[in-house]
Amino acid sequence: TASETAVIDAVNKQLFIGGSWTDASGAATFDVHDPATGKVLCSVADASPADGRAALDAAVKAQPVMAALSPRERADILTRAFELLHERIDDLALLMTLEMGKPLAEAKGEITYAAEFFRHFASEAVRIDGGYQTAPAGGARFLVTKQPVGPCILITPWNFPMAMGTRKLGPAIAAGCSSVIKPAPQTPLSMLALAGILAEAGLPEGAVNVITCTDAAGVTEPMITSGLARKLSFTGSTKVGKILLAQCAEKVMRTSMELGGNAPFIVFDDADLDEAVAGAVAAKMRNMGEACTAANRIYIQSSIIDEFGKRLAEKLGAMTVGRGTEDGVNVGPLIDQPSLDKVQRLVADAVDRGATVITGGEPVDGDGYFFTPTVLSGVSTDAAMNAEEIFGPVAPLTPFDAEDEVIALANGTPWGLVGYVYTNDLRRALRVSEALEFGMVGLNQGVVSNPYAPFGGIKESGLGREGGSIGIDEFLEVKYIGITA
C-alpha cells in the first residue's frame, strides 16, 4: 500500500557513522524481506569489517564528548528521543510490522515499551551517585565515584527490533558511553529509524553509530578484539553468546549477556484457572512465541490438565493468523523459513513421542512463514522441544503430580531466564518462587518484561541485568579515590 511504501522510503538505508549517513564499502547492500509474504521490502547497506572499524573509531572519538555532557544534558536527549518515538509511533509500528511480522497492535506496544527505556534512563542519568567514607582505621578517606565504562559494542536480535536496542542505548547514553550498535540482518530498519531520531534529539556526532551487515562474525570479531571498545552488550542465542564471551576474554572486556531461555510455566490445581489460561496465552503467544521469555514447557497438575488444555485450545484456536498489517490479526508470521522448519520439526518429534495435537499443529499454506497456534497434550519430558527453545506459537502441556517433581523438572535445564507459577497458596507461591533457578519469576503473571524491573537470567541464560535501577551500572565503572586526610 502507499503508506507501507512511504514508511520504507522514509528510512535512510546507509550506515550511520560519526553522525553521517554513508554507503558501505563498495556500496554493498543486502535485502530485507517481509516475513508475511517472503517478498523483498528494500535493501540496506552491508558493512564490511573496515566499515565496522570506522564506526568503532567514530565511537572512540565521541567517547570524551559523551563523558563531558552533563547528566542533565544526557537526560534531555533521552527525553526528547522518548517524545519523538511517541510522536511517530504509527509509522514506526508499521515499519516494524513490515520487517518483523508482528501484528500492528503488538508493534505499537513495542514502540511504547522501547520508548519507556529512554524515559526510565533519563531519570537514572541524573541519579548516578557515589560515596564518601572514613577508613575504619581512621585517617584515610574513601571517595567513590562512577564513570562511563567507555565505548560499547551493542548487538541485538530480530524479535524486538526496537526495544532490544533502546534497552541498551538508554543506559549507555545515560551513563555517558558512546557506542556502535549492530541490529540483526532480518530487521535493520527499526534501528536505522532510531538513529535518525537520536540525531534529531541532539545526540553528539559519533555517540551512536549503526552498522547493518550480513557477516556479523566477520565484522564484529575484529571490533571486539581490537581493545578499542570496553564493553559488549549482547542479546541473542546462547550459542553466539558463548562465542562472544570468548572473544571478550582476550582484552578482558565488560559484558552483559541476555541469552536464550527455556521457561517453565507451572499451574497448580489451587490456581485460578481463568487467570492461568490467560497468563499462558500471554506467555506463549506474545510475539508469536518468538521471545526468550516465552513459556516453553507448560507443566499442569494432573487433576486439571484436561480442563486447562481444553480452555487453552479454545483461546489459541480462536486467534486470527495473518499479515500483521491487517485488522483483527493477532498472530503474525514467523521470521523466516528456518524458523518455520524448526517449529515443524519440534512438533513432529513431540507427536512421535506420544503427544496429541488438541489444536493447530500445521503450517499455513501459501506465502509467508505462518504456523497455526498449537496446543499439544501429553508431551513427554524427553521431547526435543523440552530441551530447545520452540520460538513459535506452540504450547506443549506435560502433566505433573507433586510439587517437588515439578520443581526438579523446571530446574532440569541449562537455562535460567524466567519461570512462571500459578497458585493461590501463599506459602507454596513463595516456596516455589525461591526454589526456581531463574533470574525472574512470574507469579500469577504471564509477562515479566518491564523497563523498571531488573531483567536477566542465570546459568546459560546470561550475565548481568538490563532495566531496573541497576541497569545503568552495567555501563559504569566504579572508581575509588583514597585520600589522606
Here's the x/- map for ligand ADP, 340-379, by CB under 6 A: it reads as: ----------------------------------------
Name which position in 6, 243, 249, 481 contacts ligand ADP (CB under 6 A). 243
Nearer to ligand ADP among residue 184 and residue 355 (C-beta): 184
> Does the protein bind ligand ADP through residue 165 (CB under 6 A)?
no
> Does the protein bind ligand ADP through residue 236 (CB under 6 A)?
yes
> Does the protein bind ligand ADP through residue 246 (CB under 6 A)?
no
* Contact by Cβ (8 Å): 166, 156: no
The least CB distance from residue 285 to ligand ADP, in Å, is 18
Beta-sheet strands, E only, within 201-348: 208-210, 231-235, 254-258, 263-267, 295-301
Size of interface with ligand ADP, in residues (CB under 6 A)? 14
Dihedral of the CA atoms 75, 80, 83, 84 (nearest 10)? -140
Span of 52-60, 66-74, 98-106, 232-240 interacting with ligand ADP by CB under 6 A = 232-240
Residue 235: name the closest of 254, 209, 260 by CA. Answer: 260
DSSP sequence for 168-217: HHHHHHHHT--EEEE--TT--HHHHHHHHHHHHTTPPTTSEEE---S-HH
> Does the protein bind ligand ADP through residue 147 (CB under 6 A)?
no
CA 189 to the chain's CA centroid: 16
The least CB distance from residue 236 to ligand ADP, in Å, is 3
> Does the protein bind ligand ADP through residue 222 (CB under 6 A)?
no
Residue 304: name the closest of 399, 386, 375, 387 by CA. Answer: 399
Buried-state track 80-96, b at ≥16 Cβ within 10 A, e below 16: bbbebbeebbebbbbbb
> Does the protein bind ligand ADP through residue 169 (CB under 6 A)?
no
Alpha-carbon distances of 177 from 21, 162, 463, rounded to whole Å: 21, 19, 20
The least CB distance from residue 76 to ligand ADP, in Å, is 30
The least CB distance from residue 471 to ligand ADP, in Å, is 20
Cell of 416: 535460567
Nearer to ligand ADP among residue 156 and residue 178 (C-beta): 156
> Does the protein bind ligand ADP through residue 157 (CB under 6 A)?
yes
Span of 7-15, 234-242, 340-348, 404-412 interacting with ligand ADP by CB under 6 A = 234-242
Q: How far apart are CA 183 and CA 465, in angstroms?
A: 20
* Contact by Cβ (8 Å): 168, 210: no
Span of 153-161, 377-385, 392-400, 438-446 interacting with ligand ADP by CB under 6 A = 153-161
Q: Do the strands 440-443 and 418-422 form a parallel or antiparallel pair, or are they unpaired?
A: parallel
Name which position in 40, 217, 246, 483 contacts ligand ADP (CB under 6 A). 217
Residue owning grid cell 515439578: 406
Name which position in 240, 387, 409, 447 contacts ligand ADP (CB under 6 A). 240
Query: Which residue's C-beta sits nearest to ligand ADP?
Result: 236
Name which position in 41, 78, 195, 216 contacts ligand ADP (CB under 6 A). 216
Q: How far apart are CA 385 and CA 246, in angstroms?
A: 28
The least CB distance from residue 234 to ligand ADP, in Å, is 7
Contacts of 432 (CB under 8 A, 6+ apart): 266, 403, 407, 421, 423
Q: How far apart are CA 190 and CA 111, in angstroms?
A: 10
Q: How far apart are CA 290 and CA 331, in angstroms?
A: 11
Residue of 124, 258, 290, 466 with catalytic role: 258
The least CB distance from residue 376 to ligand ADP, in Å, is 23
> Does the protein bind ligand ADP through residue 155 (CB under 6 A)?
yes
3-state secondary structure of 429: helix
Cell of 409: 523438572
> Does the protein bind ligand ADP through residue 220 (CB under 6 A)?
yes
Q: Do the strands 20-22 and 462-463 form a parallel or antiparallel pair, or are they unpaired?
A: unpaired
Nearer to ligand ADP among residue 185 and residue 317 (C-beta): 185
- 440 strand-pairing partners: 418
Span of 154-162, 189-197, 324-332, 379-387 interacting with ligand ADP by CB under 6 A = 154-162
Beta-sheet strands, E only, within 356-467: 356-359, 374-377, 394-400, 415-416, 418-422, 440-443, 458-459, 462-463
The least CB distance from residue 455 to ligand ADP, in Å, is 17
Name which position in 18, 71, 130, 185 contacts ligand ADP (CB under 6 A). 185
Q: Is 258 designated active site?
A: yes
* Contact by Cβ (8 Å): 331, 320: yes
> Does the protein bind ligand ADP through residue 330 (CB under 6 A)?
no
Nearer to ligand ADP among residue 12 and residue 237 (C-beta): 237
Nearer to ligand ADP among residue 235 and residue 374 (C-beta): 235
The least CB distance from residue 3 to ligand ADP, in Å, is 28
User: Where on the chain is the footprint of ligand ADP (CB under 6 A)?
Assistant: 155-157, 182, 184-185, 216-217, 220, 236-237, 240, 243-244
Q: Which residues are catalytic?
A: 258
